[in-house]
Amino acid sequence: MYGDSGDVSPDRSREFGVRHGAARLIERDQHVRELLDVVGAGDSTAVLVTGEAGIGKTSLIREVVARVGPEYRVLVGSCDDFLAPPLLQPIRDAFRVAGGPMATATEPEAVFDAFLNEFRRPTVLVIEDVHWADDATLDVLRYLVHRLEQLPGAIVILTYREDAIDGRHPLRGWLGALADVPIRRINLQPLSLDAVRSIAAGSGRDATELFELTGGNPFYLTEVLAGPGDTIPATVVDAVLARFGRLDADSLAVVEQLSVIPTTIELQHITKVVGGKLDGLSQAEQAGVLETHGNNIGFRHELARRAIEQALPPMRRRLLNAHILELMIHCGDVHQARVVHHAVEAGDIAVLLEHGPRAAREASLAGSHRQALAHLEAVLPYADRLTVAERAALLDGYAWELHIAHRFADAVNAGQQAVELLGQLGESVALVETLMRQSRFLYMAGDTAASVARSDKAIAIASRVGAVAVRASAAAGRGMLLALTGDAVEAISELERAHELACEAGRTDIDALCHNYLGLAWCDLGSPTGLKHLRTSIELAESTGDYEAVARGYTNLAEMLYRELHWGELADCLRAGLEFVRERGFGSHAYNLEVHQALLDLRQGEWAAAEERLRRLIDSVDDQGMLSVLSLSSLGRVLARRGAPEAEGLLADVWKRARRQRSLTGFAYAATAYAEWAWLNDRPDLLISIKDEVSHLTEIQAFRRLPGSHGWTNVDDPYEQALELAESGDSDEALQALQVLDRLGAAPAAAMVRRRLKELGVARIPRGAQTRTRQNPCGLTERQLEVLVLLADGLTNPQIAGELVLSVRTVDRHVSAILGRLDARTRQEAAAAARSLGLAGERSA
């Protein structure tokens, strides 16, 4: 019943917004040429077109699409404002009529390869309004954009509203993950007064008044001009409703009915939808409220649809949605997300309870975890109408999605409710499995003691239930906790037993987890067998499609590679792991890997990049759970090396958390970071206290390298290499060390070396770089401040690259980060912000 975009024919170029007569778009010629030049160049690339609602993004796209040559296949899809967007809707719509690999790809993992194979011929793909995209759509688009260089003539054009995405919107993270990919950006600006004057000519309206009211927004402007001439509506909603109010009764009924549908409708279904009021449909189209798109009909702009929908009386809105819901079910519409959307709007609880959980499972399997949560949260208010078993299953699934979404405390709460409900039904396989998941939620929330208690209870029930698979699951869960909390020997025994049971039960998923945590335990004992187990766990989980286990494998492998100083493989693991978890929506796993990327940056001497990454991570999540120990101890270590006053309090607090949680990795990272602060600040009492606390764990590799211990430095790290040189007793090597430490900004360590040089009798000791104090807006790094100053002076990215001896791609990445940090949409806005902060004109400083 719903329409699609698909292949685009020239009639798609018809647009009302900023056209002057039929000749051209007003004040968009430059952007049209820019996009056509991108297509004409033949190089695969991605283009982002941004701007506020009604600014003319669709008008621009249609103009370009109409001019693309026949050598390119042009496909268009759009995202719509559903409660939870249907999975891959814009991608499916775009390729539906193409009949290629995407037409038959149904399994989540098959979609990635099928999508890439669609671009083996020159193709322009346009996806509009990606701020409404589901997670699975963002995942496959990220997958494609990262591989554009491998494809012949693949042009990807994405539009979105910058004002619709805040710092925590998934699209913001999506854009950040593509920072190292060259992407063209086009930001559409409002029309000028001259443009408004040209468009309003002959209307009898005052152009200046129109410009001041509409702000040069093309859609608002055309709605005002199309309305009654006696007054100027104060808002775009008023303008839309003024045009709407001039329709006759049949047309009003048609438009109201279509307003509750967030996307277009196929013409073959339109008679059923509007109840035969085709004359009213025709008048609404003639009035410019509706328009046809190939074989579909819908509103000419989402702003118009929403204005009319929101003006409907509540009961009228429910009845209109109920009509659409009835048609969808009668027609056998299998799009669960659309059924759920209209069931919620219609207040049809029976349909919601039937289809909501299905939609959630479908979304979760496709990696659209935000959408899965939205479906489940729509069902939960009516969960008391389900049986106890159904309610427990709903809450168990909800808890799992909450934990994926980094909402660990909420996951614990939902999981506990599921456990209590299943407990009412007696001991069962379901209860054991739910207890094991609850154990994981508690561990991730930082409550290790409660996690162990839940695991012990699961073990006891599993022994009585008797099923081999259940005993395997419980034993694997207990072995996992033993490995995570540092009891390596006992963990190995338990996990090997779980491995045998898993093989007997044919549970490859449990077998993969056994290898994962056997890897941790053996690494803790210094055995190379550990890394082999971890690699095997990833391979096994991938082969069975257990993607959460794959993600967990990458995070644990990264932790061990970091602790074992395998820097080259760590870099490869992080690259592959981050790509995998981002493309499949595993937020907490991505957080862990990002922390280790920051630690790798720190080891490579990229302290500013490490600090920026860590601060962004910490700011991006409210409920970090046990992962807070990893991120905060890592940030504290950077700050300690810089001599920042905040490091002491931060690390003291993290050390308390780590001791309470007793997660081995967190304990190790907090201990090494706090011990380094103690060493740098001449606190031998604190250093001894920390060493005493970890003395029983010295057989574990992570605790053999505490600051002040023999051989604690890592000669591959410029910072630690400098410390090694400083301790050599040679004054020339100490001076060389001082130069490195000053360059890194390692003030405490540099002060120690200067004292050492005095002891060695060196008369002329370099004073080091003087710290230039200036306001640092939004946590910009020093390098970003340098780029911002040059940007404010009017330099282009290639010119900035020449000034700072950087690659143009690196400057592109810095400029993108600066715009995000300053909440600026354009270079001009960023330059204005720099001037307001007193940064402009500092090039000679």
pTM (two decimals): 0.77
Q: Characterize 775-812 residue by residue with b for buried, 16 or more Cβ atoms within 10 angstroms of its Cβ, and e for exposed.
A: eebeebbebbbbbbbbbbbebebeebbebbebeeebbb
Model pLDDT, residue 25: 81
**Through-space distance between the first and last CA atoms of the chain, rounded to whole angstroms:** 64
Alpha helices for 104-201 (secondary structure H): 108-117, 135-145, 170-177, 193-200
Instruction: Report the 10 Å Cβ neighbour count for 336.
Output: 22
Rounded CA Rg of the chain: 30
CB 215 within 8 A of CB 190: yes
CB 2 within 8 A of CB 298: no
Residue type, 391: R
Model pLDDT, residue 259: 93
Model pLDDT, residue 15: 32
Structure tokens at 618: 């910490």
Q: Which residues of the chain register pLDDT less than 70?
A: 1-24, 229-232, 333-334, 697-715, 768-779, 805, 807, 809, 837-845
Structure tokens at 303: 């702003």
Model pLDDT, residue 809: 67
The set of residues, in sequence order, having a beta carbon less than 8 Å from that of 526 and lying 6+ positions away, is 699, 700, 701
Burial class (CB in 10 A: 0-12, 13-18, 19+), 689: middle
Q: Tell me the backbone φ, ψ of residue 20, rounded to 5 degrees.
A: -110, 110
Model pLDDT, residue 107: 76
Q: Report which of 160, 211, 190 is spatially closest to residue 50, judged by C-alpha positions.
A: 160
- How far is it, in rounded angstroms, from Cα 736 to Cα 186? 47
- How far is it, in rounded angstroms, from Cα 26 to Cα 189? 12
Model pLDDT, residue 189: 93
Alpha helices for 231-382 (secondary structure H): 236-244, 249-259, 270-274, 278-286, 302-310, 314-331, 336-346, 349-365, 369-379
Half-sphere exposure of 445 (CA within 13 A, CB side): 24
Structure tokens at 158: 């994405």
Model pLDDT, residue 550: 95
Residue type, 181: V
- How far is it, in rounded angstroms, from Cα 158 to Cα 61? 10
Model pLDDT, residue 321: 95
Residue holding tokens 């690196």? 810
Model pLDDT, residue 8: 47
User: What Å distances lie between residue 132 and 10, 333, 459, 568, CA to CA?
Assistant: 26, 22, 44, 38
Model pLDDT, residue 229: 63
Structure tokens at 458: 């699961």
3-state SS, one letter per residue, for 743-787: HHCCHHHHHHHHHHHHHCCCCCCCCCCCCCCCCCHHHCCHHHHHH
CB 484 within 8 A of CB 503: no
3-state SS, one letter per residue, for 462-509: HHHHCCHHHHHHHHHHHHHHHHHCCCHHHHHHHHHHHHHHHHHHCCHH
